[in-house]
Structure 1
Amino acid sequence: MTRGIRGATTVNKNTQEEILENTKNLIEEMIENNGVQPDDISHVFISATEDVNAVFPAKALRSLEGWTYVPVMCMREMDVQQGLAFCIRVMMVVNTSKGQKEIQHVFHKDAVKLRPDLAGR
């Protein structure tokens, strides 16, 4: 069965260092919390708001050991009025035997506002 694991974070500044560090921390926690291995992954979508453009956030995933061949794509998040600024979102599609309620979604920093009902489960 495939399941989606959601994750999101924000950055304070549009710098390569901050984007990569925050994205890597987010993805590492998504992996750890859900017991994911690179071969479990179908694909990963990463979106960023318009104000996050100093580097592709997917570069952070590429720095993880064993993740070289995982299909990943970056895209721009919809520009919604009153939307969360400086936001990076991850949708990791994994092969797993876990049920929907067992998946642990991860939200860091201001992105907790996106799904307070799922954050910190």
Structure 2
Amino acid sequence: MIRGIRGATTIESDKPELVWEETAKLVQEMAKANSFVPEDIASVTISTTTDIKSAFPAKAVRLLEGWQFVPIMCMHEMDVPGALPLCIRVLLHVNTATTQLDIRHIYLNDAVQLRPDLVRK
């Protein structure tokens, strides 16, 4: 079974090092919380709000140990007025026996406000 695992984070400003640092932190937390390894991943979709232009977040993921062969694609989110700024969203497509109810979606920094119903303390 392939399950989608969602995650999001925000950065303080559009600087490459922040894009890479926060993206890597988010993806590692998603992997830890859901007990999967890169070999379990079918693909990864990463989106950013249009105010992030300094770096590709996928670079941070590809540099993680064991992730260099995982298919990853980056794109921009819709530019909706009032949307959370400087936001990076990740959707992992993971082969897992974990039930939909037991998947842990991860929201960090200001992104916790996107889905407070999914944020676990």
TM-score grouping bracket, smaller chain normalisation: over 0.9
Q: Which aligned pairs between 1:3-18 and structure 2 lie closer than 5 A?
A: 3-18=3-18
Identity %: 51
Name the TM-score, length of structure 2 as normaliser: 0.98
Give the Cα–Cα distance (whole angstroms) in 1 for the partners of residues 39 and 57 of structure 2.
21
C-alpha displacement of 1:63 = 1.1
Q: CA deviation at 1:58?
A: 0.5
Task: Please give the secondary structure, in 2, of the residue aligned with 1:93.
Answer: strand
Instruction: Give CA-to-partner distance per residue, 1:28-58, whole Å, 9 cap, x none.
Output: 0000010111110000000000111100001
Query: TM-score, length-normalised on structure 1?
Result: 0.98
The corresponding residue for 1:96 is 96
Amino acid across the alignment from 1:13: S
Deviation at 1:15, TM superposition (A): 0.2
Gaps of 5+ in 2: none
Aligned position for 1:69: 69
Given the alignment of the two structures, is residue 21 of structure 1 paired with residue 16 of structure 2, yes or no? no
Deviations 1:69-104 (A, max 9, x none): 100000001111110100000000000001001100
Residue type of the alignment partner of 2:9? T
Unmatched tracts of structure 1, length 5 or more = none
1:64 is displaced (CA, Å) by 0.7
Q: What secondary structure sits across from 1:32 in the alignment?
A: helix
Alignment RMSD: 0.7
